[in-house]
C-alpha cells in the first residue's frame, strides 16, 4: 500500500502500475475521466472513486445501487438540454472560501439564483453541508477533485491566435484592449497561473471575453489550436464572470477564479502541468489571501 498526498492522475497510476507485480487498486476521492478510462483499458488497474461510489475492476465499471441516483448529476451528458453551470460554480465558491455562507451570498458569488443554489446544494449533499452559520464544504479538496473530473469546459466559441510577444504580455495586451473597448476580459490558464503560482514557463495565454475583440489589430494572426500562443473564448458558462469578480475582490487580479485557471492549465497539458495544477490547488486550499 502506497499513500500519496498529491492527486493521482492517469499518468501517475500507469507509472505505479509499471512497478506493480500484480494488480494495482487506486483509491481517490474523485477519479478523473482519464484515470477511469485508463482502468477500463487495463484490467490490472483498478480504481475506486469514493465520493461518487464508483469502482472500476477488471476493466468493468461498477456502481453501488444508489450511485446512479445520487451520482451528482453535474456530469456533462451528451444530449442533455443544459450544463449545470451553477452547480459547478457553487463547488468553486466553496473551494475558494471555507467559511459558511447563506444562499443569498452564494448566489451573489456565483451569479445564479437562490433557487439554483438550493438545488445545487441538495445535489451536492455530503460535499456541501448546512449549519446554523450557513453552507460550506465539509472537505474543500473533495469538490476540487470532483470539479476537475467533471467539468467539461466553459463551452461557447473559441478561436486560436499566434503572437510574437511573451505569453504573459499577450494576455495583458488583450485584457487592456478589452478594457479600452468596454469588453470584460479576464485571463486564465498559464496566464493566470503565472501570477498566482508561478511554476512553469507559460506556453499559451488563455483569455475569456464577454464579446469578440479585433485581435488582428493587436498584431495577432489566427491559427490552429496546435500552433496557438493565445486562446480566445467567449464562454457559455456565465458563472465564470461572477466567480472571477469574487476572486478579484481578494486579489485585484483580472483573472478567472483559480479553479478555472487550474482546469485550463491541466487542459493545456505538458510534462509539468500536473505539478503546476497541484501548486495552485495547495495555495487555494491553504486559504490564499492577497
The enclosing domain of 104 has a CATH number of 1.10.10.10
Residue 76 lies in a domain: no
Q: Is pLDDT of 170 > 90? A: yes
CA distance 280 to 271: 16
Q: Are residues 170 and 260 in the same domain?
A: yes
Q: Please give the sequence-ordered ranges of beta strands (E in DSSP) within 50-172, or none if there are none.
A: 54-57, 60-63, 128-131, 134-137, 157-162
**Mean pLDDT lowest for which of 66-70, 130-134, 239-243?**
66-70
Residue 50 lies in a domain: yes
Residue 78 lies in a domain: no
Q: Are residues 226 and 260 in the same domain?
A: yes
Q: And the C-alpha cell for 98? A: 471555507
Q: Are residues 98 and 135 in the same domain?
A: yes
pLDDT at 52: 66
Residue 75 lies in a domain: no
Name the nearest CA neighbour of 221 among 209, 229, 211: 229
Where a domain ends, among 117, 150, 183? 150
CA distance 37 to 170: 35
User: Average pLDDT for residues 254-264, to the nearest whole number?
Assistant: 92
Please state whether beta strands 134-137 and 128-131 pair in parallel, antiparallel, or not at all (unpaired).
Answer: antiparallel
Q: Write phi, then psi, for 151 (nearest 5 degrees).
A: -60, 125
Q: Write phi, then psi, for 45 (nearest 5 degrees).
A: -105, 120
Give me the helix-helix angle, 114-123 and 85-96, nearest 10°.
80
Q: Is pLDDT of 76 > 60? A: no
Query: Tens digit of pLDDT for each residue in 185-236?
Result: 999 999 888 888 877 788 888 999 999 999 999 999 999 888 899 999 999 9
Pick 50 or 232 by higher pLDDT.
Answer: 232
Q: Are residues 126 and 194 in the same domain?
A: no
Residue 1 lies in a domain: no
Bridge partners, residue 221, by sequence? 162
**Which residues contact residue 201 at a Cβ distance below 8 angstroms, ignoring those fewer than 6 apart?**
none
Residue 96 lies in a domain: yes
Residue 77 lies in a domain: no
Q: Are residues 172 and 278 in the same domain?
A: yes
Q: Are residues 221 and 167 in the same domain?
A: yes
How many domains is the chain built from?
3
Residue 206 lies in a domain: yes
Q: Please give the sequence-ordered ranges of beta strands (E in DSSP) within the chain, or none if there are none.
A: 24-28, 45-49, 54-57, 60-63, 128-131, 134-137, 157-162, 185-188, 205-209, 221-222, 230-234
User: Average pLDDT for residues 89-104, to the nearest whole number?
Assistant: 93
Where a domain ends, among 114, 129, 150? 150
Q: Is pLDDT of 88 > 70? A: yes
**Per-residue confidence at 7, pLDDT binned at 50, 70, 90?**
low
Q: Are residues 177 and 92 in the same domain?
A: no
CA distance 281 to 96: 10
Q: Are residues 193 and 253 in the same domain?
A: yes
237 and 83 in contact (C-beta within 8 Å)? Answer: yes
Q: And the C-alpha cell for 148? A: 476537475
User: Average pLDDT for residues 170-181, to the nearest whole number?
Assistant: 93
Q: Are residues 163 and 203 in the same domain?
A: yes
Q: Are residues 57 and 166 in the same domain?
A: no
Domain extent at residue 177: 157-285
Q: Are residues 145 and 166 in the same domain?
A: no
pTM: 0.72
Q: Are residues 46 and 105 in the same domain?
A: no
Where a domain ends, among 150, 167, 195? 150
**Per-residue confidence at 63, pLDDT binned at 50, 70, 90?**
low
Residue 28 CB coordination number (10 Å): 19
**DSSP result, 69-98:** HHS-TTS--TT-SS--HHHHHHHHHHHH--
pLDDT at 290: 37
Amino acid at each position: 500500500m502506497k499513500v500519496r498526498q498529491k492527486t493521482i492522475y492517469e499518468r501517475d497510476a500507469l507509472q505505479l502500475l509499471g512497478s506493480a507485480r500484480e494488480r494495482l487498486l487506486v483509491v481517490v476521492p474523485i477519479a478523473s475521466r482519464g484515470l477511469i478510462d485508463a482502468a477500463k483499458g487495463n484490467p490490472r488497474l483498478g480504481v475506486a472513486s469514493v465520493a461518487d461510489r464508483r469502482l472500476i475492476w477488471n476493466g468493468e465499471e461498477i456502481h453501488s445501487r444508489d450511485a446512479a441516483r445520487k451520482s451528482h448529476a453535474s456530469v456533462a451528458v451528451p444530449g442533455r438540454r443544459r450544463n449545470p453551470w451553477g452547480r459547478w460554480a457553487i463547488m468553486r465558491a466553496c473551494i475558494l472560501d471555507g467559511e459558511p455562507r447563506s444562499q443569498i451570498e452564494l448566489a451573489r458569488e456565483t451569479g445564479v439564483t437562490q433557487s439554483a443554489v438550493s438545488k445545487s446544494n441538495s445535489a451536492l449533499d455530503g460535499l456541501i453541508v448546512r449549519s446554523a452559520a450557513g453552507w460550506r464544504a465539509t472537505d474543500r479538496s473533495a469538490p476540487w477533485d470532483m470539479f476537475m473530473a467533471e467539468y467539461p469546459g466553459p463551452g461557447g466559441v473559441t478561436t486560436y491566435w499566434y503572437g510574437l510577444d511573451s505569453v504573459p504580455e499577450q494576455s495583458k495586451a488583450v485584457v487592456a484592449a478589452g478594457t479600452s473597448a468596454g469588453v470584460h476580459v479576464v485571463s486564465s490558464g498559464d496566464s493566470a497561473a503565472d501570477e498566482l503560482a508561478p511554476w512553469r514557463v507559460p506556453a499559451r495565454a488563455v483569455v475569456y471575453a464577454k464579446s469578440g475583440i479585433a485581435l488582428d489589430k493587436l498584431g495577432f494572426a489566427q491559427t490552429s489550436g496546435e500552433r496557438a500562443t493565445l486562446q480566445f473564448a467567449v464562454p457559455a458558462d456565465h458563472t465564470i464572470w461572477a466567480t472571477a469578480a469574487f476572486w478579484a475582490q481578494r486579489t485585484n487580479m483580472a483573472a478567472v477564479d483559480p479553479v478555472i485557471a487550474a482546469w485550463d492549465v491541466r487542459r493545456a497539458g505538458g510534462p509539468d502541468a500536473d505539478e503546476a495544477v497541484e501548486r495552485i490547488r495547495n495555495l487555494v486550499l491553504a486559504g490564499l489571501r492577497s
